[in-house]
Amino acid sequence: MKFLFLLYLVCFFSIPAAFTLEPEKKDIFPPQIKEAPVIDGKLDDKAWEKAYYIKSFVNNAVPAPAKVQTEAFVCYDEKCLYFAFKCHEPDMDGLRGSPFTVQRDDDVYTNECVEVFIDTSHDHFSCYQFIVNFKGTKQDALFNDFNFKPEPKQWDGIWYAASRIGKDHWSTEIAIPFYTLNIPAGRIDMIGVNLAREKRTLPGEYSCWACTCGGFHNYEKYGHLRDLQIQPSRILLSDIDWGETKWGENKIKLKIKNNGDKSWNGKVYLQLKNVRGEKLYDYSQNTELKAGEIREITLPYFCKKSGKYIGVLGTEDKEGKVFTPVFSTPRIIPSPLAVNSGSLLLYRNETGCIPIKLNAVDLKNYTIETEFIFNGNIVRKSTVTPKSFDAVINIVTEGLASGIYLLNIKLFDKKNVVSTLQKNMEIIEKF
């Protein structure tokens, strides 16, 4: 995400040299609400009437009022943090005609958009970033250090947002579950936070709630979200080792503690969801704990299909059968078979090889079959049993005609095909 670094440089060098005001430190004490707002971008829920109200934004480079103003609202309940923005806009025709992206995690920051930054550990070195454009398209990222090295395509969180265009403004509503931020229940004294807007209609303007005196990623300049009271569960999860993700059975290791004064009987759950929050797979382990007992457990789960998931870890009380999500992290499950994408060029009667990589937990029951397809017909098959995770497929061209072939490479787990890749090969005559 080099855009944010470039934005930092642009904003930093645009600070007037004579301006010496230091921005004031800001705190938000959001109210806890009983009825969550409907995330539709309308701003007509009662929750926003009770929310902490931010009347105006300032220029992000200097602590002076923004030329075009933005209002914001903040509240929370037992499950989520809620943010709303009302972005005033004098040029609504320009807004409607401005470019925008529709695909999640595309360059939404280049559009007319609002942003939420949350430094959950308050260490000034890490930050969750949530971006929503005026059409409701989302982008998120997790920054882990001060060198602006996010992994935008690697990290995805489950959160919800919607935008709506009005007569003289556009608005956005956002809901971020606490488990997406990996914030456990209990009293949260202080976390870093900032709210920002990138106005793209001319004249453009970058503004925010807490002036950062430069780029939006000056975490030490953020304001604070204070005194959140979330009812803690009596079952606590800690010391979570998510482990690697490979094809096959994977394992998560963690500690579970019964913090109550009665025994507990329930389950530790892992749900694999997509970025829309829809549950695709779930895995659980029955657990019984005496009052005050702490136990280390291992929760196995099987990667059934390659792709990008979000793992949500939590507990379920056997009596109430209520799933309580606590922590989450992206789970990228690779294809069990990988080869390089380049074409293979060989002379007739020459022997070549294709390096392969198995992204699997073990090598049990795997075989690799290669079909040589020429003019639509299978003219040869070869089979190899891999002895290591880095193996090769030997290609023998003896007896094959010159021409272009399609190599259809199949990975079998016993008799079941679990992965298929294709590679082009050309056989030529020697001069």
Three-class secondary structure of residue 274 per DSSP: coil
Architecture per CATH, domain 2-230, reads as Sandwich (2.60)
Place of tokens 């999500």: 325
241, 254 Cβ separation under 8 angstroms:
yes
What is 235-333's CATH topology? Immunoglobulin-like (2.60.40)
Structure tokens at 314: 């939590």
378, 331 Cβ separation under 8 angstroms:
no
Per-residue model confidence as pLDDT tens digits over 99-126:
999 999 899 999 999 999 999 988 888 8
Q: Provide the H-helix boundaries in 143-184.
A: none
Q: How far apart, in whole angstroms, are the C-alpha atoms of residue 169 and residue 146?
A: 34
Residue type, 200: R
| Listed residue (220, 219, 231, 224) closest to 189, CA to CA | 224
Q: How far apart, in whole angstroms, are the C-alpha atoms of residue 289 and residue 214?
A: 51
Q: Which of 209-218, 341-350, 419-428 has the highest average model confidence (pLDDT)?
A: 419-428
Q: How far apart, in whole angstroms, are the C-alpha atoms of residue 126 and residue 143?
A: 5
Q: How far apart, in whole angstroms, are the C-alpha atoms of residue 344 and residue 426?
A: 6
Q: Average pLDDT of 211-234? A: 89
Instruction: Report whether pLDDT(361) > 90.
Output: no
Residue 75 sits at the vertex; the CA angle it makes with 72 and 80, to the nearest 5 degrees, is 120
Instruction: Report whether pLDDT(231) > 90.
Output: no
Instruction: Report whether pLDDT(150) > 70.
Output: no
Q: Average pLDDT of 164-193? A: 93
Residue type, 416: N
Residue 407 sits at the vertex; the CA angle it makes with 401 and 411, to the nearest 5 degrees, is 145
114, 207 Cβ separation under 8 angstroms:
no
178, 32 Cβ separation under 8 angstroms:
no
- State the pairing for strand pair 223-230/27-28: parallel
Per-residue model confidence as pLDDT tens digits over 306-340:
888 999 999 988 776 677 899 999 988 888 999 87
Q: Average pLDDT of 143-167? A: 77
Q: Average pLDDT over the chain, rounded to whole?
A: 89
Which CATH number is 337-428 given? 2.70.50.30
Q: How far apart, in whole angstroms, are the C-alpha atoms of residue 347 and residue 431?
A: 10
Per-residue model confidence as pLDDT tens digits over 374-407:
999 999 999 999 999 999 999 999 999 999 999 9
Are domains 2-230 and 235-333 of this chain identical in fold? yes
The mean-pLDDT minimum among 15-19, 47-51, 307-311, 330-334 falls in 15-19
Q: What is the strand order of the sheet 323-333 is part of? A: 279-289, 264-273, 307-317, 323-333
Q: How many CB atoms lie within 10 A of CB 27?
A: 13
Three-class secondary structure of residue 276 per DSSP: coil
Write the Ramachandran bin of 148: left for phi over 0, alpha for psi from -120 to 50, otherwise beta: left
283, 301 Cβ separation under 8 angstroms:
yes
Q: Average pLDDT of 345-355? A: 93
Q: Where are the domains positioned within the chain?
A: 2-230, 235-333, 337-428
Instruction: Report whether pLDDT(11) > 80.
Output: no
pLDDT bucket at 13, cuts 50 / 70 / 90: very low
Instruction: Report whether pLDDT(285) > 90.
Output: yes
Structure tokens at 289: 């704990």
Q: Average pLDDT of 32-46? A: 97
pLDDT at 145: 61
pLDDT at 7: 44
Could you tell me what percent of the chain has a pLDDT over 90?
71
Per-residue model confidence as pLDDT tens digits over 258-279:
998 999 999 999 999 998 899 9
Per-residue model confidence as pLDDT tens digits over 121-142:
888 888 999 999 999 999 999 9
